Amino acid sequence: MEIREQILSLEKPLRDKGVKSIFLFGSAVRNENTSASDIDVFIDTNPEVPFSLLDLVEVKYFLEDNLRCEVDVVTREGLHPHIKESIINESEQVF
């Protein structure tokens, strides 16, 4: 099962954790990932559900446990301003 499908299969528990949408970027989108690659994602959160740094860490560990690889998770707001536009442009929305 490819990464997008694996993440999509986790939609319900991720939404329960406050994730409104999740986007892949980096090597997974460019089809350059290897078995040693990490997965890069950014998320949008549901503004009606409180979401803290601890929640972000919980999402990271949840994804790592289920995808069985290292996952870098950042919120859209947490993307570095100098590269934010290019990351958003190359990203692919999973849900």
Interval 6-32 mean pLDDT? 95
The CATH architecture that domain 3-93 belongs to is 2-Layer Sandwich (3.30)
- pTM metric for this prediction: 0.92
The yes-or-no verdict on residue 90 having pLDDT over 80 is yes
Domain spans of the chain, in order of start: 3-93
The yes-or-no verdict on residue 34 having pLDDT over 80 is no
Amino acid letter, residue 63 = L
- Dump pLDDT digits (tens) for 40-82: 999 999 888 899 999 999 999 999 999 999 999 999 999 999 9
CB neighbours (10 Å) of residue 87? 18
pLDDT score recorded for residue 36: 80
